[in-house]
Structure 1
Amino acid sequence: MARISRDVFLEIAQHLDVKTLFKLCETSKEANMLLKTYERSLSQLRLANFPVPPTGDVLSSELYLRRPIKHRSFEMLLELENRKSRVKDILTASPHFNLKSPPGLGELTIPQQERLCALLYRAFAQCDYIADIAANTPCQLPEAQWYKPRFISWWIGRDVPEGFRLKDPYTNYSARPTQMEYIRNLSKQDCIMMYYLMNMMGSCFVKSREDWILSDPAFYERTIVFKECVLRHGSWYAWAHFMGNSEWEIMTVDIARIGMAELNRFEYGDQDAICSLQSVLIGRFNELHESPDNKTEVVQQAVRSLITANIDDSDDRDRDEEDQE
């Protein structure tokens, strides 16, 4: 460190991945102090690499627990990198999703698959952003103690007093109004891709639970709840279900039980039950598409257009240039 000027050291740090930055902090007290001093600025410069940069604190992705991580910190960058890796796993390594022929889009070329991956990555990032809303003002993120598995049985009851109901970290009613407002202001393209992502996640869930279809009378409702959990909790929940080990899968089942209880409370007309984020997304989609009768077909056509238009135009131009030559 003594042989390298501060400016050169910081320039090198700017081009390192987050895990290497953490290791660099451990090399010496001087390096650690310098990197911590410029942590916010170094982090801010990297946020442009993410499709939906967070504007505040983000949530951690731990087993059962989601604690706030400070904005523009190295730990936040590590969390964002982990999310990126999880989404890649879901889209390219999950046995339940075929990127070559995704639901309703037919056979895709490699460039089209790459375009679709980029759009779905952004859609997942939007879901993560919605989840992160809970970690920031004016929302009140429930304390870590309420995430403990022993409280799961509390949150699935319909008779929980309202004061305790508001402490449910997986439903998190305090964040719902702000999350709804965010969805109501989505752009047309973001709305299309998030709607398609929800349909895709529903299709993948059905494939992952095919052995439940005939024996589970509430299977349709479980599919709805799964999509709501992905929309509400983002890549953390989707990765845990499709790619996590048995502990992570049990967590998703527990959270889904809470979601089923919430759905039942809403259907039974409980006064303190708030409508789902999915219903708000559907409303936004209807608003932008004049309430189409067949939403699934409309969104599939829109996604097909997004992933083929520019690529097809480019291919046509290339062929024209070759013909001229």
Structure 2
Amino acid sequence: MSNTAKSDLDIFPAEIKLSIVKSMDLRSIRNFMLTCTKHRDLVLENQTSLCVDMARRYIVPPAGPIFDSVAVKTNGFWTRGIIQPGAFKFIAELELRDRRIDRITSYFPNLVYLVTLSGFGHTTKEIRSRMIPLVRRTLWHCDAISDIAARVLPVPRDVDTSGMDERERWAHEALCNDMEAVHNEDPYRFLAARHLQIGYVQALADLDLAMLLLVSAVLGSNYARVHEAAHHLGAHVGQRAKERITVFEETALRHGSWFLWDEMCGDAEMRRHAKHMIEMGCRELVEFEDGNPFAPSGLKMTLMKECRARFLNHLRKGRNVRPLKVINTTWDVVKRAIGQPTEDQVKEGTRAVESLSEEMARMHIH
């Protein structure tokens, strides 16, 4: 920047400069800091407040520490560090997620097209344009669910268990073992965070809940189509293709864009990592199906149950409902939200037109 430009900028008070900086991306902020020592010091002195304000501009602002998407390989596993709020590294991670979500949503594959095609049959440019922000928001919710595990403290082994009954003691041991597994054989489960992640899903607004179910279902369908063509599904002994699709959807809900990027857009090593995460999820699913009392409910299971309870609450309790009916009813929630007629409304309109045509024919009106 020229000396003249510097002097022109110096006429503004620090508050105005900081207000401008808040609207910049990190690359622009770095360039601003290079203009002069005064600007560099101004930004560094206000880094915490700047980063807090900058984080609020994202679709689903983080509620605390978040995971780092730049994973480190230790003991054969990719593990993610934890980033505290109030630092430019925190904003760098959010910018990375935003770019990846934009790529996943818009280009590779065309997720918005798949989502709208599933629910609307014949799609239009207008429908897809309305769905884009909803799909992006959904992927941000997946990242928020993932970040809950970054805020769960390890379970200490030195807790006095003498006052616990047998089941409570077993549960405590299970949590301790799980936290150890984070650093050893299974760094992707985060069992201690599961009840909080389930609570997050259950607390979502109707539209967010509906989109979360639909996007996860479409992602699972796309995963099945891609891997079935490559003969990868069902490759594991004892694991049916349907189970692996369920685990894929569960892993997407639990690890968000970090996992989806590896699976959908990553290089060969990233794809191997994603496959390994699915294998870990299959092990957990087997534990649950075998009746392990400490295997918690999955997020996909919670999602289906919550959508059924909210959107099909007119059905008698205990009645068995096929997943497809839950998904179709959930689509009606989205259609109403974006101003599109639901399937029932289309049928009702068709019947009304037919009735009017019959009446006009009887009256010989042409």
| Same-fold call, TM cutoff 0.5 | yes
Q: CA deviation at 1:40?
A: 2.5
> What does residue range 128-147 of structure 1 map to in structure 2 within 5 Å?
128-136=143-151, 139-140=152-153
The equivalent of 1:106 in structure 2 is 121
The equivalent of 1:31 in structure 2 is 39
Change (3 A) 1:33 1:98: closer
Query: In the alignment, which of 265, 274, 280 is matched to residue 258 of structure 1?
Result: 280
Query: In the alignment, which of 39, 43, 54 is matched to residue 62 of structure 2?
Result: 54
Query: In the alignment, which of 310, 314, 323 is matched to residue 288 of structure 1?
Result: 310
Contact 1:198 1:227 in 2 (8 A): yes
Query: In the alignment, which of 92, 95, 100 is matched to residue 106 of structure 2?
Result: 92
The equivalent of 2:362 in structure 1 is none
TM-score (norm 2): 0.72
Instruction: Tell me the amino acid that sits aligned with residue 67 of structure 1.
Output: G
* Separation (CA, whole Å) in 2 of partners of 1:19 and 1:276: 39
The equivalent of 1:224 in structure 2 is 246
The equivalent of 2:354 in structure 1 is none
* Separation (CA, whole Å) in 2 of partners of 1:53 and 1:215: 38
Q: Structure 1 residue 306 and structure 2 residue 319: aligned?
A: no
The equivalent of 1:77 in structure 2 is 91
1:72-124: per-residue Cα shift (whole Å, max 9, x none)? 33222221222121112112212464617532322322222121110011111
Structure 2: 5+ residue stretches without partners: 72-77, 156-172, 316-320, 342-366
* Separation (CA, whole Å) in 2 of partners of 1:254 and 1:46: 35
Q: CA deviation at 1:213?
A: 6.5
How many pairs does the alignment contain? 291
Q: Which has the higher contact order (CA 8 A, sep 6+)?
A: 1
Structure 1: 5+ residue stretches without partners: 143-159, 311-325
Q: Structure 1 residue 68 and structure 2 residue 82: aligned?
A: yes
Moved more, 263-272 or 286-295: 286-295
Q: Structure 1 residue 6 and structure 2 residue 11: aligned?
A: no
Contact 2:154 2:179 in 1 (8 A): no
Q: CA deviation at 1:256?
A: 0.9
Moved more, 53-62 or 208-217: 208-217
Change (3 A) 1:214 1:21: closer
The equivalent of 2:209 in structure 1 is 191
Contact 2:112 2:131 in 1 (8 A): no
Q: CA deviation at 1:36?
A: 2.2
- Higher radius of gyration, 1 or 2: 2
Change (3 A) 1:9 1:241: same
Contact 1:96 1:204 in 2 (8 A): no
The equivalent of 2:226 in structure 1 is 208
Contact 1:192 1:303 in 2 (8 A): yes
* Separation (CA, whole Å) in 2 of partners of 1:96 and 1:41: 37
Query: In the alignment, which of 127, 140, 160 is matched to residue 142 of structure 2?
Result: 127
Q: Structure 1 residue 297 and structure 2 residue 328: aligned?
A: yes
* Separation (CA, whole Å) in 1 of partners of 2:111 and 2:201: 26
Change (3 A) 1:265 1:26: farther
* Separation (CA, whole Å) in 1 of partners of 2:54 and 2:102: 19
* Separation (CA, whole Å) in 1 of partners of 2:141 and 2:19: 31
Contact 1:112 1:308 in 2 (8 A): no
Q: CA deviation at 1:200?
A: 1.1
Moved more, 186-195 or 102-111: 102-111
The equivalent of 1:248 in structure 2 is 270
Task: Give the 3-state SS of the residue equivalent to 1:229 in structure 2.
Answer: helix
Change (3 A) 1:248 1:296: same
TM-score (norm 1): 0.80
- Percent same amino acid among aligned pairs? 25
